[in-house]
Structure formats: C-alpha cells, structure tokens
Structure 1
Amino acid sequence: MPNSTERERERELSMENGGSAAARWRFEGNERLILAGGVTVRGVLNTVIGNLDGNDTRPVIPLGHGDPSAFPSFRTSPFAEDAVCSAVRSTKFNGYSSTVGIPAARSAVAEYLSKDLPYKLSPDDVFLTIGCTQALEAVVTVLARPGANLLLPRPGFPYYEARAGFCSLEFRHFDLLPEQDWEVDLASVEALADENTVAMVIINPGNPCGNVFKYEHLKKVAETARKLGILVISDEVYDHLTFGSNPFVPMGVFASIAPILTLGSISKRWIVPGWRLGWLVTNDPDGILTKQGIVDSIKGFLNISADPATFMQGAVPQILENTPSDFFQKIVSTLRETADICYERSKEIPCITCPSRPEGSMFAMVKLNLSLLEGIEDDMDFCCKLAKEESVILLPGFAVGLKNWLRVTFAIEPSSLDDGFLRIKAFHQRHAKKQ
C-alpha cells in the first residue's frame, strides 16, 4: 500500500497531466498523414453512404465502388482459387519471401507481360508488391527528391495525389480531353513540365474514364516524355479489360523511346482485389533506370517495406498460366453489356451526359448539368441526396479531380444497373427545374 506521501505525489502528477503541464508530452500526430488522407475515394463514398435512408426497403445499388467481387457475374476463376489452396497446402510457402519477390513468381509475371511486348522481360525487371497500391507507393517514394514534381492526369486516381503529398513531392495536373475520348492533352504536359519534372502518370485502361488509349497516342506520350527527359509511370491495373474498338496496348511497347515503369496486379482482371498481389516492372531495354539509380532505389524501398503474402506469390505461376481464356471472355462480355447499358441509359437522363462510350476498365465519367436541377448545389450534394432519396450510390467527380462530374461504376449485375439508372431518372424528374 502506498503511504500518504506517495499518494500525494500521485495526485500532483495526475493534476499536472490533466492541466497546463500536459504539454510535457513530446509526441503528436503526423499532420501530413491527416492531410494526405483527407480526400480519398473510400472516404467520400463513406460520406455519401452515410446519407442512405434506413427506412427505404429497396436494395441499395452501389454504382460508386471499384470492387465487383461480391456480384455473381464477377466471381473469380475456380482455377485461381485452386492455385491459392494448392500453394497453402504445399507447405512450401510458409516462410518469409525475398523482399523483391520469390523467383518463380517473378518469372511468371515476366512471362505473362512479355506476351504483349516486342522484347522479353527478365525476372529481374519484376518486383512483387502488396497490390498495385504498394507499387504506386514505391514509385512515388523513389521519385520524391527535394524540389521534384510529378505530372498527374485529371481526372485520375486520387491515391497518387495523396501519396505524393505525404512524400512532399509536388504534383501538377494535366488534362484528359473528354471530347477526344479522354486522350492526354500533350500540349498541357509540355507547358507544365520544367527542369524539376521527373515523371508523368497515365492510367490505361482508364480509371475513372473508361477509355483505352490508341497505339498512336501512346507513342506520342512516349515521345513527349523523351523530349522532356522524364519517365512514364503506366498504371495498367485494368490491363486487357477492354471491349471496344481499341485493343489494350501496354506502354512498355514504347520503352525504347522513353523508360517506363509499369504498375499492375491480378486484382481487376481476376476480380480479386482482396488478394493483394501486384507488381512494379521496369521496361527499360537501354538500362536508363539502372544508370539513374531508380532500380536500386526500388530495391531499397522494398527492403524496408512489407512483402506480399508468400502463399499468394506461390500461387501466381498457376494463376497466370492456367486460368482458361473463357473466364476472361465472360468477364469482358459482361463488362461490354453493362458499359452499353450505362452509356445508353445516361442518354435518357437530361442532367447527365456521357461524352463517349466506355471501352475499358469498369467506370464511366458523366457530366452533371446543374442548370437543369433545382435545389442541387454541386456533385457532392447530388450524390448525397440521390443516396437519401433513391438508395443509389455514385462517386462525386471532385473525388477524382473533376468537379460537377460523376463517376459511375458499371461492374455490377446488368439488372441492378438498369434499376439504378431508372432511379437516377426518377431523381432527375423530381428535381428538374420548372420551365
């Protein structure tokens, strides 16, 4: 039992810790983390979802997500599931991995990507990551030297801005042109770049626009990068999810013009975003990335980072090599059907306009015409009131860089997508400005 002197000292300490002496604590939160995470797709969607009316008995129609794995039409291949089970049961993948990935998995990814390239990748060109997100984190961190700046697409994927902000890497936005099937405004890229610009990012197939860049346009992107002396970061997480007139062309095809860092994963094509297996690949036949220290910096980042689960790496060769083509054909066919529904139904709603038919990924951007509506302030207000009145979730465009636009996900059951657009149409009619 403490004596009276000890109890008195405890009371004094307690009063100090709760009063003016609390400033003695020498730790505090990281403000840069708070700022970096201020606007995220998930955060904005959570705000929209918070407006749902719990008394509405209709099913919620989620048209703002990027994860269709819960829907029956978008289930992964049993061959992929079997590969994971086999890797776990083999007991060969219970230990730590190399920080850059196990050799068999790196070889399998190199082989998989080389099928679309005019040259053959080496396993040493491949670095395995915890999904495409960690690949993105690695690239941004590697490039974040003092004074450097990074060119990002608008609209785009806001995690690039968040990560760059956290790393104190300046970012500047170039526009994608909706009237030209969301091609890169290359003139704005050249105008934005200066002697401190290190790289530009493209996302192909496009999130959030649903576009697929043509071969000729990608070549111009590479030529612009070469002219500016920068590398191209090509986010290809939606590779081969194309269903229009333009086939998927990997940016690595043009690596002899400018060095390319390719980011990808099994998340989208195999509909398994929760499996968290991605890659960062150096497309660099001239060895420029090695000479400039980028490769060693990538290895350094991975040496101080977590690794993807070893059993997932063990499953990768079987997943990439043995998944039957009819699985991919089914997914692409379903996306083609739902993309067409999205495009055609948007024409029936006066307050939204889809500038071009989606040809890839799982999204479309539609422009919101507020002049046709009463009582709607902006895209966020539109989405919050739509959620409350119709139990439909859309992502407001400001979250991806375009205010008063909307990102619509069409990776959902066709009947649900149809129902969703009927509800959006009813919402428009209810809020239409009186003539």
Structure 2
Amino acid sequence: MKEGEMENGGRKKGWNFRPSAELAAPTQITIRGILGTLMSNLDGGDERPRIQLGHGDPSSFPCFRTSPIAEDAVISAVRSAKYNCYSPSVGLLPARRAIAEYLSHDLPYELSPEDVFVTVGCIQAIEVTMAVLAHPGANILLPTPGFPIYEARAAFAGVEARHFDLLPDRNWEVDLDAVKALADENTVAMVIINPGNPCGNVFSYQHLAKIAETAKKLGILVIADEVYDHLTFGSNPFVPMGTFGSVVPVLTLGSISKRWAVPGWRLGWLVATDPHGVLKETKIINAISTYLNASADPATFVQGAIPEILGKTGDDFFKKTTSMLRQTADICYDRIKEIDCVTCPYKPEGSMFVMVKLNLSHLEDIYDDVDFCSKLAKEESVILLPGCAVGLKNWLRITFAIDATSLEDGLGRLKSFCQRHMKKQLKDEKRRIKEKQI
C-alpha cells in the first residue's frame, strides 16, 4: 500500500498518536520504579519476612499508627454529611484557617487563611510550584541528594534543574558557594528540605539564616519542603524557613503524611510565608490560584477533619513518635558502624532516613549501588533504596521508621550480605587481626 492510501474502513495505515517522550522513558530512576524492580527480585523461596527499609511510609508498620484523634475526626467528617460536596479550588476555609494557625505557632508573625492553599499531598504542592515559576529560560536550584520529584516536575514544566551539593562532612549543610556559582539572572528559586530527606539532617537556625541571606542577594525565593516538620530528635530543633520570611519570600510545602503517619490521606499545603507580600506583588499568588482552578482537590472529608487533626492531637502522640524514631535511629547508626562496607558520615537527627556510603572497593562482584540493592533483595529479602534514586550514586538510603525488632533483623542481614561478598584479602586480614587479639 502506498503512503496516503486508505485501508479497512477508510483509516490511514498507522496511527497519529504517540506518548510524551518524557513519560515514555523508563521510570527505573524514580523511587517507586526502583523499589518496584527490587521487589520483583525477591526470592520467593525465602521463608523469612521481607524487610522494607527503602520507602518512606511509616504507616506500613503497626507501631506508627496514626492518632485516635485523627481517625475519629475523619469518621466524624464523613458521618456529618457536610463534606460530600466539591471543595473550592484553594481548599475549604476552615482547613486553610487551621493550617495557618498550626504553622503560625512556630513563626514570628501570623499567617492568614489567604496565605494557605490546600493540595493533594505535598506532591501536588511541588507540581504547582514548578508550574507557577516556569517561564522561558528559567532555572531552579535543587539539592543533591534530594527528592527526585522536584527534578521530574521541573522537567515537565520546562524549568532547567541545576544541582548544588549537600556536604556530608558538614552534617549535610547546603554548599552555599555552589549555590552562588550556579545562580544567574534566570534562576527563580532554590529548594531546601528540612528535616532532610534523604539525609536525616536538621538545619540549624544559623545555617537557615545564611540560606535566607544568600537567596536574598540572588533575588530568588526559597521553596521550603517541611514534610517532616518537628520529627527531630537531635541537638537541632526544627526551625521553619518561614522564620526568615521577612528576609526572603518563602513558599512552604508540607502535609500531614509523615508527622501523623497517614501518607495515603493525601492532604498537603502550599503556603506563602511572606510577611512583606512580595509573592502577592509579583503575581505568584494569583498564578497559584489560577493553576489550582484547573487541578484536582484533596478529598473534602479529609479537609473537613483537618481542624480537629491539627488542633486537638495531643503532645503525647508526637512524643511517642519521636521517641520511637530516636530509638530506631540509634539502632541504625550503631549497627551500621559494625558493617565494614558501609559508612555513615553523621548520625541522623530528624526525618526517617539516613544516607550511608558504599565502600565498593571492599566488595567482590558488586558493581554499583543498584547492583548491591538488587543482590541484597534476592539473597536476604531486604529492600534498601540505591542512592542514585536520590541523586547520589554508590550511596544507600535506609529508613528507620520501622519497628526495632525488624530493623535489627534487616541490618543483621545487611551485615551478613556484606561479609559474604567481602573481598578475600580483606576477610583474611580481619581473621588475622582477630587471631592476634585472641
């Protein structure tokens, strides 16, 4: 058949549609893509329980069940029959007011409901932010390691991503010299994640102040991802970036997903912590509203429950959560020190993760972090996240938001795996040292 000729019912040969090039590409570099592949590598014949140390879903473990206040609030909202309707695109007013009050407790000024936009989890807040800041030639500064959704959403919006390092030898502080070197007249914002995913760090007040001053000099805003707010258990307390809103405009992104252990409820927020009104003056606030008018809303009954969830959850619930995380972070750090092929530069002080460096020179038949995690899954039924998924090749992200017994078991299996794959000369050297000690 010649080009242009018709076949079967008058249809041209072939089809006119094709997928987006970005979405048709392999998704293995995403966290979900990599974890899905690793799960498929599990040995079905291993009778031991599978241990998930790769994802950030505390609700998978019974010890991290959400508060009864939150459960009752959702049930009450559903039974009230007041929340079966559509929501305003920016969110229900009582929910916006409750979020403003919740965040204002930690700020030197009061937020208003007009500063708050309710989103479908923090992921939608990221999506909105990238879309609103997009213009021809725009670029955004992202941390390495970081959360890869920022890079993906920037690509979809046509915003160039430029990466600055977090410094492991300085407890994962931002390399501010790199930020200054990367920025130009088309840079629109920089992202910080505090408490840190994937590093488990918590920025000090002094370091946050330096970030704010740097952003001010560059004329850019700060996107503050604070999904893990108040999940801290080290020397640095949580300080919101919005504290420095009078220095530089800040878009604060958050949710109830982690602190309340309900990521599946998909309730987040995008908040202008900007007392001087710079974001309103530059039409960023209008753009956010416009975008949300053409976007999905969080479930209305969850929004209806938010005033009760934020306003009435007691300190005992939060203290229990941070106490468990402190315990499991200690276990994680101490057990990692016993494993020769991995190194942890700093003890985690917040969030639910720690980054550890692979010493590949100590191992046989292990090529990189993905190969390590694939073989670990197959041989030990333990899932870790390869560092390449968060931008740091030949590192590993380990979650400690898990019950202590399972964590001990998982890290014990990790140690056995490393010992089994250790190079022979290192095994011999360790044996000689042990014999001398005896």
Letter matched to residue 13 of structure 2: A
Equivalent position of 1:404 in the other structure:
394
| Alignment correspondent of 1:104 | 94
- Spell out the pairing of 1:21-420 with structure 2 (5 A cutoff): 21-23=12-14, 25-35=15-25, 37=27, 39-420=29-410
* Equivalent-residue separation in structure 2 for 1:284 and 1:324 (angstroms): 29
The answer as to whether partners of 1:36 and 1:166 remain within 8 angstroms in 2 is no
**Runs in 1 of length 4+ with deviation above 3 angstroms?**
12-17, 35-38
| Equivalent residue, structure 2, for 1:13 | 7
In structure 1, distance between residues paired with 2:28 and 2:421 = 30
The answer to whether the 8 A contact 2:117-2:270 is kept is yes
> CA offset at residue 35 of structure 1?
4.0
Asked if 1:423 is matched to 2:413, the reply is yes
Task: Give, in angstroms, the shift of residue 34 of structure 1.
Answer: 2.9
Deviation track 1:230-253 (CA, whole Å, cap 9, x = no partner) reads 000000000000011100000000
Q: Aligned equivalents of 2:307 and 2:27: distance in 1?
A: 35
**In structure 2, what is the Cα distance between the partners aligned to 1:15 and 1:371?**
64
TM-score with structure 2 setting the length: 0.94
Pick aligned residue for 2:423 from 390, 413, 433: 433
Compute the displacement of 1:168 (Å): 1.3
| Counterpart Cα distance in 2 of 1:202 and 1:176 | 10
- Greater alpha carbon shift after TM alignment, 42-51 vs 145-154: 42-51
Please give the secondary structure, in 1, of the residue aligned with 2:7. helix
SS of 2:142's equivalent?
strand
- State the 1:15 CA deviation: 9.1
Could you say what secondary structure the match of 1:69 adopts? Answer: helix
Residue 36 to residue 320, structure 1, CA distance change in 2 (3 Å) = farther
- TM (normalized to structure 1)? 0.95
Partner-residue secondary structure (3-state), 1:176 = strand
Please report how far the alpha carbon of residue 105 of structure 1 lies from its aligned counterpart in structure 2 after TM superposition: 0.6
Write the letter of the residue equivalent to 1:231. L
Is the 2:144–2:166 Cα contact (8 Å) retained in structure 1?
yes
Are the aligned partners of 1:140 and 1:167 in contact in 2 as well (CA < 8 Å)? yes
Aligned residues: 420
Q: Is the CA contact (8 Å cut-off) linking 1:16 and 1:22 kept in structure 2?
A: no
**What is the aligned-residue RMSD (CA, Å)?**
1.2
- Separation in 1, partners of 2:68, 2:113: 27
| In structure 2, C-alpha distance between the alignment counterparts of 1:131 and 1:403, rounded to whole Å | 28
The CA deviation at 1:38 is: 5.4
**Offset of 1:36 from its aligned partner?**
8.7
The CA distance in 1 between the partners of 2:357 and 2:29, in whole Å, is 21
- Give ranges in structure 2 of 5+ residues lacking alignment: 1-5, 426-438
AA matched with 1:306: A
Contact 1:144/1:169, CA 8 A, preserved across alignment: yes
Tell me which moved more, 168-177 or 26-35. 26-35
Question: 1:37 Cα shift?
Answer: 4.7
Shift of 1:293: 1.1
Specify every segment of 5 or more residues in structure 1 that has no aligned partner in the other structure, as ranges. Answer: 1-11
